[in-house]
Structure 1
Amino acid sequence: MTWIASNLAFGVGLATLLYYIQRAIFRRRTTKLPGPPAQRWLFGISQQLFEADDMAVLHEEWVHKYGPVLNMPGFFGATRVLLCDPKAVAHFYAREATTYRRETYTKKLVELMFGKGLLSADGHDHKRQRKALIPAFSNQAIRTLTGVFYDSFYKLKTNWDTIIEGAGGEALIDVQSWMNKVALDTIGLAGFSHDFGTLQGQHSVVAETLDSFTRVNSKPPSYRSLIISLFVPVMPFLLKLPGNPRLRRLKKMNKATEEVAYDLLKRMRDVRVATSKEKFGPRSLLETLILAEDASEQIRLTQEEVSAQMKTFILAGYETASVSLTWALINLAMRKDIQDALRAELLEIHGDPTYEQLMTGLPLLDAVMKETLRLNPPIAGIPRIAFEDDVIPLSQPIKTADGKMLDSIFVAAGTLVQVSIRYMNRSTILWGEDARDFKPSRWLSETGIPDKAKEIHGFAHLLTFSDGPRTCLGRQFATVEFKAVLSRLVRNYEFSFPEGRDTKLERVFGVLARPRVAGQEGSRVPMLIKRVE
C-alpha cells in the first residue's frame, strides 16, 4: 500500500508539474510584460492575492508601477495576463464567449453549483440558451413584475414595524438577514410563481442552505487554499472529494433547488396541457423556460438545461440582490446627509413609484444604485483561458519587459487572461482621487464621470454586470428590484449604526463576498432602525 501511495503521489505531482510547464511554454509566445515578482516559485504571488484586504488596491499599486497590462506569476512559473486597460478589457469581453473561455475545472465548478445552464455554456450552446431566455427579461416583462418587488417590501415592513414597536420606537436589526429573505422570496415569486415564504416565517430548505454559506468564518487558511488551487486545475475531480464543507452545502442546495424546480416544472406543464400556447404567453421566467422546451431547434432547451436555469436564477438572484441592498443600506447609514436627501426625493412621490418613475424619474435613487454597484461589484474578477491566438489592442502604448513600446499585445492560445472588475470600477486612475468614496453626486453631473472612466464599456461605464455577449441577462431585473425595494426602505425607515461612521466593516466569503460588521458572526450587519412618520 505504501508503494501504491508513493507512486500515486509521484504521478499526481508529475502531472501537476507538466500542466504548469505546458502553461509556461504557452506563455513564452505571449508578449513579455512587466509585473510583480514571484514571492515563491511554487506559488508565485498567489498567497499575496489571497491575503490582500482589497484586491483592487493591490492591482492599482501594480498598475502604477508596471502599467495597465501586466504579468502575474502563478504556480510553477506559469503566469496570467492582468488587463486593467479599458480598450483591452472591451476587446476581451467582446470575445469572451469564443476566444476566451473558462478553464475545464472552473467550468466543472460552475456546473457543480448551477448545472449545465447559461453560466457554464460556451459558443453555440450559450447563444442558444441566451436567446431562449431573452423574452423573460424584456422591459415589458420586468414592468409587470414591479408589483412583486413592492409586495416583498410590505411583507418585510409588517415584520419590522412589529419589532420596532416592541422595542419602543427603535430596534437593532440585522439588515442582511432580512435582505436575504426579500431577495429569495422575490426571485421565487417573480421568476417562478413560487413563494418561499421566508418573510412570513416559513421554513425553506433552499433558504437554510443559502444562509449556511454566509456562516463560514471569512477566508479559508491561505496554504490550504493554495494547495487546493494548485491541484484542482489538473484534477477537477478533487472538487467532489468528500469532507469538503462547501461541497456538502452545494449538494444540499442543489438537491433543494432541484426539488423546487421539478415540482414547479411539473405544475406548469400540467397547466400548459389545459391551455393553448396562444394564451400561455411568457409571463414569467418559468413560463419562458417551459415554452423553450418546445421551441424550434435553434433555441430549444433540454429538461436538464431548464432545471439549470432555474437554479442559476434562484442562486444568482438571491446573492446579488441581498448583497447589493445590504451595501446600499451600509453606505446610506454612514452618510446620513445622502440618506436624508434620498428620502426627500422619494417623499415627493405619492404612493409606490411606477416602473417609469423608477427608470427615469428619481435621479438620486438612480445615482445611489449606480454608486453602490460601482463600489461593491459581487464578482471581483474574471479569469479565462485563450482558446486561440489573439492580439489585444490598448488605449495607450505600454513598455514591455524587454523595453519595446507597443500599442497592442499578442496573447498565445493557452494563456490565462484576467480582467480586474473591482479595479476597473474603483480605480483612482480612471475615476479620480475620490474613486473609493461613496459619492452618488458623481452621477448627477455631466462632468461627474471622468473621461477615462467613460472609456469603460458596459452598463453606466461599470463592469459589475460584465459586458459583451455574456453580459448579465438579469441586469434589468436586478436594477428595478434594487430601486423598488430601496425606495420603500428609505421612504419608511431611518438607518444608522450604533457606533456611527466609526463602525468597522469586513468581508466574508460565502457564495459571493458579503459585508459584515467586524466582530459579528457569519455575515451579520446590525443597524439601528426607526420608522419615518
Structure 2
Amino acid sequence: MSVVAILALVISLLIACIVYFVFIAPSFNPLLAIAGPPTDRGLFTNYLQPVLDPTYSPRTHEAYVKKYGRSIRIRGVGPWDTRLLTLDPVSVSHVLKNSTLYEKPWQSRTLITSLIGCGMLAAEGQVHKRQRRVATPAFSIQNHRALVPLVFRKGTQLKVRWMQMAKEQPEDRITLDVCHWVSRATFDVIGMAGFDYNFNAIRDESNELFMAYKEMFETAISQGSFLRTMLRIYLPSVSSLFPDHTVRTVRRCQNVIHRVAGQLIQEKKAKIAQGEEDGVPYAGRDLLTLLLKSNIATDLPPDQRISDADILHNINTFMFAGSDTSSLSLTWTLLLLAQNPAIQDRLHAELLSISPVSSGSLADLTEDEIQSLYTTISNLPYLHNVIRESIRLIPPVHSSIRVATQDDEVPTSYPVHKRDGTIIDRPTTVSVPKGSFVHVAVEGFQLDKEFWGEDAWQFLPDRWDRLPEVAAELPGLFSNTLAFSAGPRSCIGMRFSMIEIKTFIYILLTNFLFLPTGDRIMKANVVLTRPYIVGKFKQGSQCPLIVVPYDAKQSASTAD
C-alpha cells in the first residue's frame, strides 16, 4: 500500500471517528428523550448564555420550567454536548450528595488549578477527602471564635479610614467603590486568619503578596479573555509557548506567592517544631498553623497526610474563596440596603440597640467583651434575615456544574416532560449517561417563585419569618439555599464567612448611612456574581455608593 493510500485511510478513519462522536453517538443520549429548547437552529446553537448570565437567567429559568418542567435538556457547545439543567430539589440533592458520582468537570478543575493550585476547590476523590480531613479541625467552632477579635479589629480600621476620608470632604460624605474597599478589608482579614500575615491593604495597596493575589485574581478572572481561557484549558502547551499578558501576569504573581507564602510555611513549620522541642506548643491560631498541626497529628495515618504544596494550594484557595465571596456578599448587601432605605433604617435601629455607648468604645473592649458582643450580634433576628435574604437574592456563586463519572438514574419529585409531549406525573428518574454535564442552578433555585412566592425577585427580609413550607424543605447548607452548596463538597468556611459579614455590617451600619449614587448597577457572572456599572463593563467590577457618617438626626430614608 502506498504512502498516499495509507494517508487517505488515516484521514478517512479520522473523519469517520469525528462524524461518529459528533453526530451519531450523541443521537443515542437518553437525555434527548426529555423536553428542552429546540436544537435544530444550527450546528453550534447553544443555550448557555441565557442560563448562565444573571441578566437573563431568572426569566430564562422561569420560562423553561413553565414550558419544559423541572428536568430540562439543554445543548452545550455543540451537538455532542447534551446537558441536564435540573430545577428539581430531589434531583439536585442527589447530584450534590453523591460527589463521587458527580465531580467538577476536568475543564473547571484545570482552570482553577492553573491559578491557585489543586486545593479543595479543584481536588476530587481521595485527594479532596484527604485535604478536607486535614483542614476540618482548623474550622472548628473554637477556632472560629478565636478569629472574632481579628475581624472586629479590621472592621474598625475600615471604619476609621472611611471617617478620615469623609472629613476631608466639604459635606462630610464620600462616594466610594464599596466593592473595592470591602475587598481590601476582607483580604486583610484572610491574610491574618490564613497566614498570620498583615497585608495592611486597608491602609494602602503596596504589600508584595497582597498585590500578587489581587492582580492574579483580577487579571485572570475578571479581565481574562474567553478565547485565551479556552486555550489555557484545552491547549495549555500552546498557551505556555505563546503567553499573552494574562499568562505572563499570572506567572509573575504565582512566583511571588510561591516565594513569600512558601517561606511563611517553612517559618511556621520551624516554630511548631521548636515548640515541640521546648515542650511549649506554638500557640498560632491562623489557618496555616492549624493545617500544619493537623497534618502532623498522631491520630492521622501517614498515608492521609498532605504535602507542603497541597498546604500552599489550600491557603491559596482560602485566600480566593475567603476574600472574594465574603466581600461580594457584603457589597451586594450594602447595595440592597442603599436601594431600600426603610430596610436600612430598621436594621440600623436594631444594630444601634446593642451598640456600646461611645462611638470609639469598640477599641476599648476586652477580648471577652468582643466575644460577648459578637454573640449578641450573631443572634440578632433582623440582621440574620437581611443577610440571608441578600445571599438568597444575589448568591456570589451564580451556578455550578457537575459531570457524571458513570451512567446514573437521577431521581425526580416533579413531573418529567418528555420530548414527544407526554408528561410522567409520578416520581421517576432521568437517565444521565457517563460524561454528561449537570447544571446546578444556584440562583435558579433561590429565585424560584414556585418555592419562594411571587415576590421571590424582591428584597424582603421579612419573608424569613413566614417562609413557605416548600422553601423550608429545599436542600442547602445555609438557610435552605445553595449559596454555600450542599453535601460533601459544601463550603468548609461558611461559619467564618458569617463572622466576617455580620461583624462588618454591624460596624459599618452603626457608623454610616449608605445611599445610591444614581449609577445603574448590573450583575455579571465572572466566576462569581460581580457588580458592574451599566455601560462601563470594561472599567472592571465596581459598586459606587454614597457613604455618609451617621448622624442620629438622619436616616437612610431622609438623607439625600
TM bracket, shorter-chain basis: 0.7 to 0.9
Letter in 1 for 2:195: F
Q: Which stretch has the larger CA shift, 75-84 or 208-217?
A: 208-217
Please tell me whether residue 40 in structure 1 is matched to residue 42 in structure 2.
yes
Which residue in the other structure is 2:439 paired with? 418
Which residue in the other structure is 1:429 paired with? 450
Q: Which stretch has the larger CA shift, 61-70 or 30-39?
A: 30-39
1-structure distance, mates of 2:328, 2:190: 14
TM-score (norm 2): 0.84
Please tell me whether residue 475 in structure 1 is matched to residue 480 in structure 2.
no
Q: Secondary structure at the match of 1:198?
A: coil
Give 1:300 shift: 0.9
Deviations 1:250-300 (A, max 9, x none): 334433332332121122112112202872367221112212442432531
Equivalent position to 1:389, from 400, 403, 407: 407
Q: Which stretch has the larger CA shift, 113-122 or 51-60?
A: 51-60
Letter in 2 for 1:468: G
Judge conservation of contact 2:50–2:56 (CA < 8 Å) in 1: no
Q: Secondary structure at the match of 2:302?
A: coil
Which residue in the other structure is 1:126 paired with? 128
Structure 1's 313 and 217: CA in aligned 2 closer, same or farther, altered over 3 A?
Answer: closer
Q: Which stretch has the larger CA shift, 108-117 or 238-247?
A: 238-247
2-structure distance, mates of 1:271, 1:216: 35
Structure 1's 321 and 11: CA in aligned 2 closer, same or farther, altered over 3 A?
Answer: farther
- Tell me how many residue pairs correspond in the alignment: 515
1-structure distance, mates of 2:16, 2:153: 58
Equivalent position to 2:325, from 320, 324, 334: 320
Structure 1's 359 and 313: CA in aligned 2 closer, same or farther, altered over 3 A?
Answer: same
Which residue in the other structure is 1:3 paired with? none
Please tell me whether residue 66 in structure 1 is matched to residue 68 in structure 2.
yes
Please tell me whether residue 305 in structure 1 is matched to residue 310 in structure 2.
yes
Structure 1's 289 and 449: CA in aligned 2 closer, same or farther, altered over 3 A?
Answer: same
1-structure distance, mates of 2:340, 2:444: 23
Structure 1's 139 and 23: CA in aligned 2 closer, same or farther, altered over 3 A?
Answer: farther
Which residue in the other structure is 2:178 paired with? 175
Structure 1's 239 and 339: CA in aligned 2 closer, same or farther, altered over 3 A?
Answer: farther
2-structure distance, mates of 1:527, 1:249: 31
Structure 1's 165 and 75: CA in aligned 2 closer, same or farther, altered over 3 A?
Answer: closer
Give 1:31 shift: 6.7
Which residue in the other structure is 2:554 paired with? none
Q: Which stretch has the larger CA shift, 163-172 or 85-94?
A: 163-172
2-structure distance, mates of 1:357, 1:167: 35
Equivalent position to 2:534, from 514, 518, 529: 518
Q: Secondary structure at the match of 2:83?
A: strand
Equivalent position to 2:382, from 322, 347, 364: 364
Equivalent position to 2:430, from 409, 425, 433: 409
Judge conservation of contact 1:176–1:326 (CA < 8 Å) in 2: yes
1-structure distance, mates of 2:323, 2:238: 27
Which residue in the other structure is 1:440 paired with? 461
Please tell me whether residue 380 in structure 1 is matched to residue 398 in structure 2.
yes
Alignment of 1:174-193 (within 5 A): 174-193=177-196
Q: Secondary structure at the match of 2:392?
A: helix
Letter in 1 for 2:71: V
Which residue in the other structure is 2:359 paired with? none
2-structure distance, mates of 1:64, 1:135: 45
Please tell me whether residue 464 in structure 1 is matched to residue 464 in structure 2.
no
2-structure distance, mates of 1:152, 1:13: 61
Q: Which stretch has the larger CA shift, 324-333 or 378-387?
A: 378-387
Give 1:206 shift: 4.3
Alignment of 1:278-357 (within 5 A): 279-280=281-282, 283-295=285-297, 296-297=301-302, 299-351=304-356, 354-357=373-376
Q: Which stretch has the larger CA shift, 423-432 or 466-475?
A: 423-432
Q: Which stretch has the larger CA shift, 285-294 or 139-148?
A: 285-294
Task: Please give the root-mean-square deviation of Cα atoms over the aligned residues, in Å.
Answer: 3.1
Give 1:209 shift: 4.7
Structure 1's 245 and 435: CA in aligned 2 closer, same or farther, altered over 3 A?
Answer: farther
Which residue in the other structure is 1:5 paired with? none
Q: Which stretch has the larger CA shift, 176-185 or 75-84?
A: 75-84
Structure 1's 51 and 460: CA in aligned 2 closer, same or farther, altered over 3 A?
Answer: closer
Deviations 1:161-198 (A, max 9, x none): 11111103111122111111101000001121000111
Letter in 1 for 2:442: I
2-structure distance, mates of 1:509, 1:382: 11
Judge conservation of contact 1:372–1:438 (CA < 8 Å) in 2: yes
Structure 1's 394 and 217: CA in aligned 2 closer, same or farther, altered over 3 A?
Answer: closer
Q: Secondary structure at the match of 2:85?
A: strand
2-structure distance, mates of 1:518, 1:484: 30
Judge conservation of contact 1:172–1:529 (CA < 8 Å) in 2: yes
Q: Secondary structure at the match of 2:389?
A: helix
Alignment of 1:479-490 (within 5 A): 479-490=498-509
Q: Which stretch has the larger CA shift, 82-91 or 72-81?
A: 72-81
Judge conservation of contact 1:105–1:236 (CA < 8 Å) in 2: no
Which residue in the other structure is 2:211 paired with? 208
2-structure distance, mates of 1:206, 1:281: 24
Give 1:243 shift: 4.1
Structure 1's 288 and 401: CA in aligned 2 closer, same or farther, altered over 3 A?
Answer: same
Q: Secondary structure at the match of 1:330?
A: helix
Q: Secondary structure at the match of 1:156?
A: helix
Letter in 1 for 2:275: T
Letter in 1 for 2:320: L
Q: Which stretch has the larger CA shift, 521-530 or 68-77?
A: 521-530
- Unaligned segments of structure 2, at least 5 residues: 1-10, 357-361, 363-369, 552-560
Judge conservation of contact 1:272–1:280 (CA < 8 Å) in 2: yes
1-structure distance, mates of 2:45, 2:97: 31
Which residue in the other structure is 2:270 paired with? 270
Equivalent position to 1:493, from 508, 512, 515: 512
Give 1:496 shift: 0.3
1-structure distance, mates of 2:245, 2:525: 13
Structure 1's 473 and 238: CA in aligned 2 closer, same or farther, altered over 3 A?
Answer: farther
Please tell me whether residue 55 in structure 1 is matched to residue 57 in structure 2.
yes
Letter in 2 for 1:145: L
Q: Secondary structure at the match of 1:434?
A: coil
Q: Secondary structure at the match of 2:282?
A: coil
Structure 1's 16 and 52: CA in aligned 2 closer, same or farther, altered over 3 A?
Answer: farther
Judge conservation of contact 1:428–1:434 (CA < 8 Å) in 2: yes
Deviations 1:82-130 (A, max 9, x none): 111111111111112x001122222211211221211121122211111
Give 1:432 shift: 1.1
Give 1:75 shift: 2.9
Which residue in the other structure is 2:520 paired with? 504
Judge conservation of contact 1:491–1:532 (CA < 8 Å) in 2: yes
TM-score (norm 1): 0.88
Give 1:46 shift: 3.9
Deviations 1:444-483 (A, max 9, x none): x1x2344245333331000010100000001110111100
